[in-house]
Structure 1
Amino acid sequence: MAKGITTEELDALTDAELLEKLKEAKEELFNLRFSAVTHRLEDSGRLKEVRRDIARIYTVKRERELGTRTAPAAEK
């Protein structure tokens, strides 16, 4: 079972929190890549997982821009 972020969790976040999650995920991806290069990475599947999390965050962010998905603060 994947340990990544679900879209339901991302839907519950505000835009500011979403950007913070994106920043954290990008930092984690950088650290994982660094570990992979220095041969200290134990869980290589985590790289794929974090990349997909970043893609999910970008997708939710873009859908909010287009108006197909709303942020929690924008709801009635």
Structure 2
Amino acid sequence: MKANELNQKSVAELKSELTELLKAQFSLRMQHATGQLAKTSEIKRVRKDIARVRTILGQKAA
């Protein structure tokens, strides 16, 4: 997901996106802990997406 796409979303949409990403991150962490995760790079991608969403939310709040 790109920052341009996030800028076009409303605050409510961003908050729901953040919730989904946090759930995905939790799921990936559990899969990694149990050895079921094949693509470990997904953890890094989701973490960066969470940071992007939080950054845009902060910019919109200011």
Separation in 2 of the partners of 1:9 and 1:29?
20
Match runs of 1:1-76 below 5 Å = 5-66=1-62
Question: Higher helix fraction: Structure 1 or Structure 2?
Answer: 2
Question: What are the ranges of 5 or more consecutive residues in structure 2 without an aligned counterpart?
Answer: none
Aligned residues: 62
TM-score by length of 1: 0.80
Runs of 4+ deviating beyond 2 Å: none
Superposed CA RMSD in Å reads 0.5
Structure showing greater radius of gyration is 1
3-state SS of the aligned residue for 1:56?
helix
TM-score by length of 2: 0.97
